[in-house]
Structure 1
Amino acid sequence: MCATLPCALRDPSVAPEGPPASTYACALEPPGLLGHFLAHPPEGFAARQFAGGVPGFVADFDLLTTADERLLATLAQWPGQRALRRLLTWRTCFAGSTVSEYLPLPAHTTQHTAPAALLDAVLQDWQRSTRLLIFKDIALPTELLPEDETRYAGALLQACAAQGFVIVEGQALAYVPIDFASEDEYLARLSSGRRKDIRRKLRARQGLRVQVLATGDACFADEALLARLYALYLQVYAQSELHFDRLSAEFFRAVLQDAALDGRVFLYATPAGALVGFNLCFVHRGMLIDKYIGLDYALSRQHNLYFVSWMENLAYARTHGLRHYVAGWTDPQIKAYLGARFALTRHAVYVRNPLLRAALARLARWFERDHAWFADEGHDRR
């Protein structure tokens, strides 16, 4: 960590007045983040841009990545697991990115190009070069985005369905409206059992130093710090159930050194200076967008860092006049426990082989993991 006073909170700026102009519709992130994704794609990815400026990439895709846990449990009993996974891993072309919550659509395109025409342009650009084409995370109506943007995304989804794409429900995006005046008011909305448990876990704050640095801070010229942060990210990646997009050290360096992104890096350390973890967020369109976390698991468990960082992010969003905290896709169970709401997306999947396309249409429900969880748990989606 940089040499600062313990518990110092270095606040680079106040929240902007209203949502700034964006070059993408349906994007919660600053456009520069997509630029870094295209320049430094995850390992094994080939980044590209389709006609009209739609970002995309090509990668090997395990078809079981988002499979329902019940299906995975059944398949785990079959012999030849490695051979099966290889057989079900296809070279796939994606419209979208893995650094954006929704499929980002160039703003000029949504203003001047009909959704069906945009789809035709992407299809002509793709030229059936891979076995799958996936429009990733098409936005549905949500309080997180303007109505005109989600209306265009919905029309694009309808155009995909008309062209024979299979529509698959995506993951659950967790978010919290910042409509409370204090931490106590927020916790009061939870059950008494959850309040007691969370407050007990938050006692670990007393053993942590917290810094908030802006992306572009001079600290991020320190190669040793960059290496330490990347190593913490890799710990989280290794523990994740999904191993799809392993971001590169070059990507993190470019992002952390880019002041224009309006990023916030929350650093958590012990009083002795041992780095426990970090959380990289962005302030954009009046929201705090939580993107990446890195953890020293041995220390972070001692300090209940997941719970502490959640409440720190809510406090930052509240004190800076932001309207939402967007907490990302993974771990819906714990985020629901912490009081999050959820929004779902849709993927539009085109299978080049017509027989396999028909099979996917019949089996699509088995690849909607978060949808199955919502159905089982009865959580509301808004």
Structure 2
Amino acid sequence: MSEQGLPYFSTRFDLLTTVDNDVRTKLLRWPGSGLWRRLLTIDTNFIGTTVNEYSPFPADMTPQALSGWIQRHCAGDKKITIIKDVPQHSPLLQEQDNQYSQALIAECTRRGFILVEGQALAYVPIDFNSVDDYLSRLSHSRRRNIRRKLRSRRDLRLEVLHTGDNRFHDAGWRQHLYQLYQAVYNQSDIHFDLLSAEFFAGLLLDAESGGRVFCYWLGQELVGYNLCYQRGDKLIDKYIGLNYPLALEYNLYVVSWFANLEYALENRLGYYVAGWTDPQIKADLGAQFTFTVHLAWVRNPLLRRILNRFRHYFESDARWHQDQQS
């Protein structure tokens, strides 16, 4: 954490992390792909965190001062410095926050940062009166498919626990929840951050955070859960743990999506924020999307030109969204 209150971290970053699977597969078939992979894994500074939807910026620094400080203090010791997850006209933020972000994007672009489109953040405005009302907005085929999967809910028992609940003081159960989180991580196509067991335990034990753990039981067996946070007028979906293959058999992803919508509706919230990854699945479930940008400073001028020319290969979610729109 900087003196100004700006979080940042450093890591060896694989530039292929957000590249389309097809492109990544083709690259790895090239002769000497092992060498190429090492060359594309670069010491990188990140401004922001891996646990926020948007990077938190110090309120008392102007975008001009912030970008200058980053360029002077963070961009010298690593080959690449990335200001991650800068919002673009987000409906989830206040106008002053969006104005700050736009000014930061403009200032960093002027200074020579490369602008790269980020991932699609899924959200649902709670502007409906019931689940039936919500489903009526989807196509007939999607409604039929969703209703079929929601039949699984009749066999499941939902329990909503607040973080800090006495149940989470059982170290064995916390470890079981962490293992279910790891199971989801291990089957994911995109690997960026892996929460430690200690960090995860801290989340579950924090009674002041507004965390809600939605647990789905089949008899005495936990089929899965998701950890959400109720902040302001939003229910923010952060982490999920699934008991495979049981969670697939009971369509838990779809079941939990609608349980979260019902919770937001019952508590008179304004938005359900469903997070990153799997945008097509979330679009099929009725989500809308807002995008971030990453602002990358590349120290080497030649590498900067090369990455700027090929930056669209790192914008898989943005290209997916353009295809959906067209």
Contact 2:260/2:272 (8 A) holds in 1: yes
Structure 2: unaligned runs, 5 residues or longer: none
Listed one character per residue, the Cα deviations across residues 222-276 of structure 1 (whole Å, up to 9, x for unaligned) are 01110000000000000011112011000011111001110000011112x1111
Contact 2:159/2:216 (8 A) holds in 1: yes
Q: Residue 299 of structure 2 corresponds to which residue in structure 1?
A: 352
User: Given the alignment of the two structures, is residue 170 of structure 1 paired with residue 170 of structure 2, yes or no?
Assistant: no
RMSD between aligned residues: 1.2
Listed one character per residue, the Cα deviations across residues 160-201 of structure 1 (whole Å, up to 9, x for unaligned) are 111110000000000000001101000000001110110000
89, 95, 98: which one pairs with 2:47? 95
Q: Residue 27 of structure 1 corresponds to which residue in structure 2?
A: none
Contact 2:108/2:295 (8 A) holds in 1: yes
Residue type at the aligned position of 2:319: A
Contact 1:69/1:369 (8 A) holds in 2: no
Counterpart mapping for 1:204-283 below 5 A:
204-271=152-219, 273-283=220-230
Q: Residue 325 of structure 2 corresponds to which residue in structure 1?
A: 378
Listed one character per residue, the Cα deviations across residues 307-357 of structure 1 (whole Å, up to 9, x for unaligned) are 000000000000001100000011000000000000011100011111000
Distance 1:79 1:51 in 2: 46
Residue type at the aligned position of 2:322: A
Residue type at the aligned position of 2:135: L
What stretches of structure 1 move > 3 A for 4+ residues in a row?
Answer: none
Q: Residue 81 of structure 2 corresponds to which residue in structure 1?
A: 133
Contact 1:134/1:349 (8 A) holds in 2: yes
Listed one character per residue, the Cα deviations across residues 21-53 of structure 1 (whole Å, up to 9, x for unaligned) are xxxxxxxxxxxxxxxxxxxxxxxxxxxx23411
Listed one character per residue, the Cα deviations across residues 93-140 of structure 1 (whole Å, up to 9, x for unaligned) are 100111001111133x2xxx3211111122222151111100001011
Distance 1:203 1:96 in 2: 41
Structure 1: unaligned runs, 5 residues or longer: 1-48
Helix, strand or coil for the counterpart of 1:345?
A: strand
Counterpart mapping for 1:1-382 below 5 A:
49-107=1-59, 109=60, 113-126=61-74, 128-271=76-219, 273-378=220-325
Distance 1:136 1:127 in 2: 14
TM-score by length of 1: 0.83
Q: How far does residue 156 in structure 1 lie from its aligned partner after superposition?
A: 0.7
Contact 2:45/2:75 (8 A) holds in 1: no
Distance 1:83 1:266 in 2: 44
Q: How far does residue 71 in structure 1 lie from its aligned partner after superposition?
A: 2.2
Contact 2:42/2:79 (8 A) holds in 1: yes
Q: How far does residue 75 in structure 1 lie from its aligned partner after superposition?
A: 1.1
Helix, strand or coil for the counterpart of 1:266?
A: strand
Contact 2:168/2:205 (8 A) holds in 1: yes
Q: Residue 21 of structure 1 corresponds to which residue in structure 2?
A: none
Distance 2:28 2:13 in 1: 19
TM-score by length of 2: 0.97
Contact 1:68/1:372 (8 A) holds in 2: no
